[in-house]
Amino acid sequence: MTAQRNTQRKGSLPRRHLFSLSAIALLVLAGVLLVLPTQGRERSAQAANTFSFSVAGDYGQTKNTNATLGKIGTLAQTSAVSFNLGLGDLNYDYPTVSAQQWSTYVQGYLPSDFPFELVAREYDTGDIGQLEGDLPDHIGNVSGTYGEEYYFDYPPPATPLARFIFVSPGVLSQYDYSKGGLITTGSPMQLMMHVVMSPAAAIR
């Protein structure tokens, strides 16, 4: 599996990160957790059991954003990536730039119905509800509240290779489970994480 990640503040384009399927791994990318279930060597050796995705956060609407979205769009057009993870701080200029305007801007770089799966961060508290509707889920097997606190298995639906878990602790008021939004022992967030991570980690 290949993750292609970009950090907008540095103005760089997505770069590749390789993850082994030979062990359980937990990846923390801003607001997303990735659980890779344990797999046998014979399965991980099969080319059909791999996929690639892109990752970016801190978007805004600058020349760096144009370059990043252009790269994601090119990768998507050639099927080099199956989906993108939009890790929050999406539309910096809200309400001057509406959620619909920003979503249209993003969609102009991407193939129709390309999965641009998003999660809220600090700059998204005013328009996340609108962004969820304008840039909807296209994976198709999401559990939870898309854009806020949810997860999906990929590839769906039969034998997934990974589970992606998105959380917004301390960002949206309904998910401010503890002081500072931290995931503390015994908190609702910690219990939720245990429930959704355990089945993925138990796969052999």
Look at 140 and 8; give whichever has higher pLDDT.
140
Instruction: Indicate the length of the chain as a whole number.
Output: 204
Asked if residue 201 has pLDDT above 80, the reply is no
Look at 117 and 23; give whichever has higher pLDDT.
117
Asked if residue 19 has pLDDT above 70, the reply is no
Look at 32 and 10; give whichever has higher pLDDT.
32
Supply the pLDDT for residue 88.
Answer: 94
pLDDT in tens, 26-75: 344 445 666 666 554 444 444 468 899 999 999 999 999 999 999 999 99
Asked if residue 165 has pLDDT above 80, the reply is yes
| pLDDT band at residue 157 under the 50/70/90 scheme | confident
Supply the pLDDT for residue 22.
Answer: 26
The overall longest dimension of the chain from CA atoms, in Å, is: 53
Look at 161 and 12; give whichever has higher pLDDT.
161
**How high does pLDDT run on average in the chain?**
77
Strand segments, DSSP code E, in the chain are 2-7, 15-18, 25-29, 32-36, 52-57, 84-86, 116-118, 143-145, 149-154, 162-166
Q: How many CB atoms lie under 10 A from the CB of residue 192?
A: 18
Q: Are 44 and 38 in contact (CB under 8 A)?
A: no
| pLDDT band at residue 172 under the 50/70/90 scheme | confident
For the entire predicted model, the pTM comes to: 0.74
pLDDT in tens, 66-114: 999 999 999 999 999 999 999 999 999 999 999 999 999 999 999 999 9
